[in-house]
Amino acid sequence: MADGEDVMRIAVLGLYNSGSTAIAGMLHRMGVNMGPPFWMDSNEDSPENHYEARDLSHRLRKWWDEPQLVERASKRRRVCYLKRWISRQERSGAPATGAKHPLLSLCGQDLLAAWGESTRLIWCHRPLADSISGLQKREWFKGREAEVQQRLWAALCGLEQSGVRITKLEWSRVKSDPNAAVNELANILGIRPSMERLERAANFIRA
């Protein structure tokens, strides 16, 4: 990494309604700084929280003109902002800093340019058809659900096919065995949270 070499940087990617909130909530409870304040709820431990940094979420929606997902900012502007954002967050002194938002799935190369090649990209993986169906049930982006999800899916597949290292966590496995998922995530990242933190993270999935 160019800056903050000794600090781990993590980006949680995935479609809407794919389980990425669960992964972000687990990481938050495991001691990873996920970029508060969060846009959904001021209470960081609220079950209603999406663990999406308020300032970054606002910027992502402007960059990609949600839900049209048309690029409205150059890569240079995105990379510059992401560099500043991670620098601010790392002032907290946490050993690991992360961010989660579905629109980060369109920013894979931006993240690597801004945060360094050692950035851990985690894709909460759920079948495309299931993610589309889940979004339709939530009634988000009415009439554009499939279009939005397919755009994000294509971006993630393209990133993976380009040779970028992405770790996939299957949502079905996370949901069915939270304890195993928490331990797998800790092993992937090479972090050693306390037993209390691991238990809190697993209970978040069970809630």
On whether residue 139 sits in a domain, the answer given is yes
Alpha helices in the chain (DSSP H): 20-29, 54-64, 75-89, 108-115, 128-138, 145-161, 171-176, 178-189, 195-206
| Longest alpha-carbon distance in the chain | 45
Domain that holds residue 169: 8-206
On whether residue 1 sits in a domain, the answer given is no
pLDDT of residue 206: 79
Mean pLDDT by 10 residues, the chain (207 residues): 65 97 95 89 67 96 96 98 97 94 98 97 97 94 96 98 96 95 93 94 88
CATH of residue 63's domain is 3.40.50.300
Instruction: Specify which residues 10 forms β-bridges with.
Output: 98, 120
pLDDT of residue 150: 98
On whether residue 3 sits in a domain, the answer given is no
On whether residue 2 sits in a domain, the answer given is no
Return the structure tokens found at 186. 């800790």
pLDDT of residue 124: 97
Q: How many CB atoms lie within 10 A of CB 31?
A: 16
Q: Which among 110, 25, 111, 103 has a CA at the least distance from the CA of 67?
A: 103
On whether residue 43 sits in a domain, the answer given is yes
Number of domains comprising the chain: 1
pLDDT of residue 39: 78
pLDDT of residue 45: 64
pLDDT of residue 2: 41
